[in-house]
Amino acid sequence: MSSTPPIQDAAAAQTTVQGEQGSVLQVRFDYQPAARLVAVSYRLRNTADAPLAVFDRGNFHAIDTGRQKAGEVGIPTEKTEGEDVELMHGVLPLRRPSPTVPPTPIALRLEPGKEVSARFEYALKGTLAPKRLRWCVGVMRFNETDFDQPHTASQGQLWRASFAVVGKQQMLCTPWFDVAANRFQA
């Protein structure tokens, strides 16, 4: 009988991504190929002079159905193309026809000069072993017209976002992570 080592014992790789809207994202991947489990630890710093909206807190439907606790990092969307897997936290366009209960996005408001640190684990779907992985998170300048219903959580203020933010968010994506080499590609 074999056992899978804990995620903290897995080899890790780190990278930094500079955003266009005054954000710096530092990311660490811990990937366990046998378990198909990726742990993503990250720190996002707002270097701009205005607040940022960070779309990593999921949606109200996931909270209402018990799939997620309010204030925690949401479940990422997984997109697979061939042997490449992309995980994403961001606002997706509303499906047509619109669902009865839409997945209304939640954003964390990140004030100028502040940072947020978080971690999530995700078990990849399917059985195909990926050759490359990457993670993306949506951010945008915070404005009062696209957000409402603020409430306070341990990481800061959470706001309900409108689906109008889909075209306004910038996706901060890590470089591709080469699974075999256990490092981010340049």
Q: For 12-56, what is each residue's pLDDT tens digit?
A: 699 999 998 889 999 999 999 999 999 999 999 999 999 999 999
9: confidence class by pLDDT, cuts 50, 70, 90: very low
Q: Is the pTM of this model over 0.85?
A: yes
Answer yes or no: is pLDDT of 94 > 70.
yes
CA distance readout (Å), 84 to 19, 37, 78, 131, 171 = 23, 15, 10, 6, 18
Q: In the Cβ-directed half-sphere of 100, how many Cα atoms lie within 13 Å?
A: 0
Give residue-wise pLDDT tens across range 154-185.
888 999 999 889 989 999 999 999 999 999 99
How far apart CA 59 and CA 57 sit, in angstroms, is 7
